Amino acid sequence: MIEIKSLFCGYGKREVLKDLNLHLRRGEFTGILGPNGSGKSTLLFAIAGVLPYRSGSIRIKGEEIAGTTFRFRARQMASVPQKSELSFPFKCLSVVLMGRYPFLSRFGGYSRQDMRRALDAMEQTETIHLAHRMITEVSGGETQRVIIARALAQETEIILLDEATSSLDVAKKIQIFDLLRSKSDRGTTLLCAMHDLNLAALYCRRLVFLKDGRIVLNGLTEETFNDENLSRIYETDIKVSQHPITGSPQAHFVPGPHRQPESSVYGPVGRGQVLGPGRTDC
Ligand code: ADP
Ligand code: MG
């Protein structure tokens, strides 16, 4: 569904992504993890086609995205950006309806079906009560859920989410991720940049860890999410145990006085080094 080969990409003279290779299958629920500044958002911008790449290739369903139109991309992929770009006082319903924009005919307005899809997405994200409120007058968490509703209303096969639930309380995070999982079960391919390691381990089947613009680890959650890999990538002592209900691996952070000396357990990942047992090219 998404195939990235030898991707080099950045801003001006600043090279961020270096020789990145990634292949994601249809319906896969993938978490993009890694420290601040490792290139997660940059990768999502490149896939969304809003950041031109220097070299390499990104193919969506076999189509090289560099040559595609905004309309083509918007029919394939919906994005939930890290920073909301909405500073105009649109009603939340109008924001969600924007998800239908790529499907409008040249002369027609929104159809009843477009309205139905927007309202369904607002019901699913529990934002229907905000429909007639201005997007500039709702909270950060409410804005995030409205933008997620816009992405769902777009009804694309791929959804890119960049820290999309960072402002939500724990119950709302779980509700949104349950919803995302149900979409993934029905074939939607999801790529989520996340900071919340435990949420990623609970929901994502595959984890891709970036560091300094390179993939240092890529594999199934149960194979990659362990003490050694996490401690080395985040450069702090992290212990992993099993979730008592689901059995998923869950991370525990170790406060100062209890941390083991850095050199003994979690020396940083070296340049170009790849951690096991994940692969960087799958
Ligand atoms: P992450 O999402 O993993 O925190 P980003 O992809 O946002 O990381 O950033 C990767 C690197 O690119 C960082 O060093 C960051 O400072 C730099 N960067 C991000 N956006 C810009 C920009 N618009 N112009 C120049 N450098 C940028
Ligand atoms: Mg980011």
Whether 13 lines ligand 1, by a CB cut-off of 6 Å, is: no
Whether 38 lines ligand 1, by a CB cut-off of 6 Å, is: yes
Q: With contact defined as beta carbons under 8 Å apart, do 223 and 47 qualify?
A: no
Whether 224 lines ligand 1, by a CB cut-off of 6 Å, is: no
What percent of the chain clears pLDDT 70, i.e. is strictly above it? 93
Considering only CA atoms, which residue is closest to atom 8 of ligand 1? 37
Tens digits of per-residue pLDDT, 130-178?
A: 999 999 999 999 999 999 999 999 999 999 999 999 999 999 999 999 9
Range scoring the smallest mean pLDDT among 14-23, 194-203, 204-213, 269-278:
269-278
Domain ranges of the chain: 86-155
Report the pLDDT value the prediction gives residue 272, as an integer from 0 to 100.
53
Considering only CA atoms, which residue is closest to atom 5 of ligand 1? 39
Q: With contact defined as beta carbons under 8 Å apart, do 204 and 29 qualify?
A: yes
Report the pLDDT value the prediction gives residue 280, as an integer from 0 to 100.
47
- pLDDT grade, residue 281 (50/70/90)? very low
CA atoms within 13 A on the CB side of 170: 1
Considering only CA atoms, which residue is closest to atom 11 of ligand 1? 37
Q: Which atom of ligand 1 is nearest to the CA of 38?
A: 3
- pLDDT grade, residue 104 (50/70/90)? confident
Measured distance CA(151)–CA(84) in Å, rounded: 13
Question: If you measure from the C-alpha of residue 83 to the centroid of ligand 1, how many angstroms do you get, rounded to a whole number?
Answer: 13
